[in-house]
A and B are shown apart, each in its own frame.
Chain A
């Protein structure tokens, strides 16, 4: 076999040189789909949106350069509402969807835990649904009638019914509950896989030193999960600031008093209702800036860059 293989190559030096050149070119063919897609569907739109953010576009031929006017006119009450809703949403989803899944993962990871697979699958199921299925349920379960699921349950405890989707704070609560329902299981899966990387001996020696469960959680588990926590917080910042579909389904594209208005929702409004691509693009660039800054702060605080430079 071996003789046969080498025998086929050695006589042709030319062929060998050709093959070598092919090995130089081949990688670029492999990565070509990414390069093409990056140029057409990422770089070009980004440049385009930067340019549009300085333009007033009234028609395909009727374009004027307006400097920073779009950025100035962008800043109004709706913009403030959208930033406030989006930031609060991002904060609360992280506030819930980091600690709760960690605890659930620690519970699931216990020795001899009964029903582990059943629980893991059940927690994961909501992630399979599209946002319309999830939105439909929460819209109807948090309805204002006194017969709806939530009003009925709270009624048992003597809590009066509410119009959940019509008030600022409860509307936020519904959005956060929806998000928790859909993504809890996914984060549990992340943290569970992170737990497998923490050596068992650390817990054993802590037990010998007489540490209780809480101390073990705070001194071993949480530090051990840090890479996963950084990852989950990063994707939550991304998901939180890019949120649109959930509020679109719960409140429609224009909610009374902007209670469900997110930044992407505002971009959508400007673009597709007001046909104002200039201001819409200015909003897009602003959102891009916000996401980058929040992520930079977050990664600096968690020491992500320190680790890289060391």
Chain B
């Protein structure tokens, strides 16, 4: 019996060490990026990201560049990211919750057909449509605007799906109660049902905000002038064949991660809920 207990102790230790090693793999890049962001950019070109550490050579210059470098372009990028994230999240929550709720609550002609359309949009990579969408954005005068960055993907099929899954569980009795009280159907949604969906809104806010904050392919195409870029696109523009501006790039990357990291640490459950309910249990 003693040997069996010992064996299970060893197994547990081995598993713990494996998981710990994976955790190091996951977290180390954050640490190295953070440390490197205090090194001069020339040092990055010479040594890459490295274990070498020369405290005397480290300073806050890269962070000063965020405010002053290139006429403060980084602040423009930050503002654009904030605006697009806010606008995109609000629009997308408003629209997708309406659609998801409508699909879950009402039985109407064409519902199944709509449902199939949503699934189709879900499984077709949007990257396939970048050229026609670019052309369309030109005719709709959406190029280089906040609306252009936000509108084409505001009605995300994943978010619709998520709100549908959540709405199915709403108590139907409230629907009749609202009708008897003389509420319109839209009124019932805004006054009675939407407040009940607050947890779903919470989870989706975080997930959508993260998507807009990090979104890359579409903003790369629709945003053209330097002071309209978002953080990922602006930072990416610093990588050029003629030499990379690692000083601004590193501090800029570190500061761009902060908002999401803080929200995640404050509310991990919402992140994980948003991910799993929409996907697996569907």
Further 5 A-B residue pairs, CB within 8 A, beyond A193-B280, A245-B220, A284-B129: A22-B185, A34-B95, A140-B246, A145-B48, A190-B279
Q: For this complex, into which size category does the number of interface residues on chain B fall? A: 35 or more
In the complex the two chains form, what is the Cα distance from A229 to B280 in whole Å? Answer: 9
State whether the Cβ of A134 lies closer than 8 Å to any Cβ in chain B.
yes
In the complex the two chains form, what is the Cα distance from A40 to B126 in whole Å? Answer: 14
* Nearest neighbor of A264 in chain B, beta-carbon distance: B127
Asked whether A28 lies within 8 Å of B33 as measured between CB atoms, the reply is no
Question: Chain B interface: which of A42-50, A74-82, A166-174, A214-222?
Answer: A42-50
* Nearest neighbor of A108 in chain B, beta-carbon distance: B19
A148 touching B49 in the complex, CB below 8 Å, given contacts A45-B136, A137-B32: yes
In the complex the two chains form, what is the Cα distance from A29 to B23 in whole Å? Answer: 47
Asked whether B108 lies within 8 Å of A24 as measured between CB atoms, the reply is yes
Asked whether B214 lies within 8 Å of A277 as measured between CB atoms, the reply is no
> Which residues of A lie under 8 Å from residue B220 when comparing CB positions?
245, 248
In the complex the two chains form, what is the Cα distance from A285 to B221 in whole Å? Answer: 19
Asked whether A231 lies within 8 Å of B47 as measured between CB atoms, the reply is no
Among A33, A113, A134, A244, point to the contact of B99 (Cβ < 8 A).
Answer: A33
Nearest 5 A/B pairs, CB to CB: A30-B102, A143-B48, A242-B125, A26-B185, A148-B48
In the complex the two chains form, what is the Cα distance from A34 to B131 in whole Å? Answer: 22
Q: Mark A5-23, 1 if CB is under 8 A from B, else 0.
A: 1101100000000010011
State whether the Cβ of B1 lies closer than 8 Å to any Cβ in chain A.
no
* Interface members, chain A 209-268 (any B CB < 8 Å): 227-228, 231, 234-235, 238, 241-242, 244-245, 248-249, 252, 264, 267-268
> Which residues of A lie under 8 Å from residue B36 when comparing CB positions?
140
> Which residues of B lie under 8 Å from residue A129 when comparing CB positions?
214, 257
State whether the Cβ of B264 lies closer than 8 Å to any Cβ in chain A.
yes
Instruction: Determine which residue in B216, B249, B271 has the highest number of CB atoms from chain A within 10 A of its CB, and name it.
Output: B216
Asked whether A189 lies within 8 Å of B272 as measured between CB atoms, the reply is yes
* Nearest neighbor of A225 in chain B, beta-carbon distance: B280
Asked whether B47 lies within 8 Å of A27 as measured between CB atoms, the reply is no
Among B131, B181, B236, B253, point to the contact of A277 (Cβ < 8 A).
Answer: B131
State whether the Cβ of A287 lies closer than 8 Å to any Cβ in chain B.
yes
Asked whether A133 lies within 8 Å of B51 as measured between CB atoms, the reply is no
Asked whether A238 lies within 8 Å of B125 as measured between CB atoms, the reply is yes
Asked whether A189 lies within 8 Å of B48 as measured between CB atoms, the reply is no
Among B51, B126, B249, point to the contact of A136 (Cβ < 8 A).
Answer: B249
State whether the Cβ of B195 lies closer than 8 Å to any Cβ in chain A.
no
Asked whether B185 lies within 8 Å of A137 as measured between CB atoms, the reply is no
